[in-house]
Structure 1
Amino acid sequence: MFTSKKTAPRLSVDKFSSLISDNLALSGDLEFEGGLKISGKVRGNVRHKAGSTSLLALSAGGCIEGNVSSHDALIDGSIVGDLVVEHLLELHSNARVRGNISYRQLSMENGAQVQGTLTRLDDQVQLQLPRPAPVAGEEAEPA
């Protein structure tokens, strides 16, 4: 009677300020701000400008060989390298990621493939906390 189905978070894509189309191959690192849509090939690191609310969209035919960072990301192509998404990551059905992924929120469709570790950013913060010093007379815990 009162059933409510949770819907997965979705990003709104209104417009992109930058585009690397499918007929373009780029070699070198790039930094972006706002929206970036990649349908072509990039060989180099792709990172968002620190402190910006950015959106990266990688189309099904798009490919990035390098480390990637963004505030939000919609991935439907392939990435060979580590991926860090500060907010919401959507891995669509054609997504292929060979590298470690760090994210805060994750939506993953059937068919998406990841070869690497998935780490939630909140968990990473807890892992970086130092261990408490042992109290006198107690044995230290093994590392």
Structure 2
Amino acid sequence: MAMLKRDELSSVPTPTGDLNALLGRGSEFEGKLTFEGTVRIDGKFTGTIVTNDVLVVGEGAKVNAEITCGTIIVHGEINGNVRAKSAIELHHPARMRGNIESPSLMIEKGVIFEGQTKMEGVEKGGAKPASAPGPVAAVKS
């Protein structure tokens, strides 16, 4: 696993500021990843990712996986379905191909998203979850 120097780790943006693991640029991993805390992927990952915590997909990352997580923050490329218990954030220049399910979704201008969305847990009182009936694509800037 590629490691960053201590100074570089502090410049890696994470929601909590604590980074538990890093798959650096130039690294490739295939398999099942389970973890606690915050993990950042900047390399290539293929397989399955399962966590209740935070996954950060860096700008150079290419992830081909089925992902179940607490929160995911994407700047890179994901091919596969994502299910987040808390939130999904897609930041420019992210490319997302696959279905997403989360109570909170943020798509920044310039992101490319191809897939369907399903939002559950947004409204209280037994209301039906909102769902997009077909493919959705964000406009490039």
The gaps in structure 1 that reach 5 residues or longer are 1-10, 128-143
TM-score (norm 2): 0.73
Instruction: Give 1:59 shift.
Output: 0.4
The gaps in structure 2 that reach 5 residues or longer are 1-13, 130-141
Aligned residue for 1:119?
118
TM-score (norm 1): 0.72
Deviations 1:23-81 (A, max 9, x none): 21001111111100000000111111xxx4x1110001011111112101110111111
Q: Give me the whole-angstrom Cα distance separating, in 2, the residues matched to 1:34 and 1:12.
A: 11
Aligned residue for 1:141?
none
Aligned residue for 1:63?
62
Are 1:15 and 2:14 matched, yes or no?
no
8 Å contact kept, 1:86–1:121? no
CA RMSD of aligned residues (A): 1.7
Q: Give me the whole-angstrom Cα distance separating, in 1, the residues matched to 2:15 and 2:50.
A: 20
Pick the structure with greater CA Rg.
1
Q: Give me the whole-angstrom Cα distance separating, in 2, the residues matched to 1:96 and 1:69.
A: 18
8 Å contact kept, 1:45–1:67? yes
Q: Give me the whole-angstrom Cα distance separating, in 2, the residues matched to 1:96 and 1:119.
A: 18
Aligned residue for 2:40?
37
How many residues are treated as equivalent by the alignment? 112
Instruction: Give 1:86 shift.
Output: 0.8
Aligned residue for 1:47?
50
Runs of 4+ deviating beyond 6 Å: none
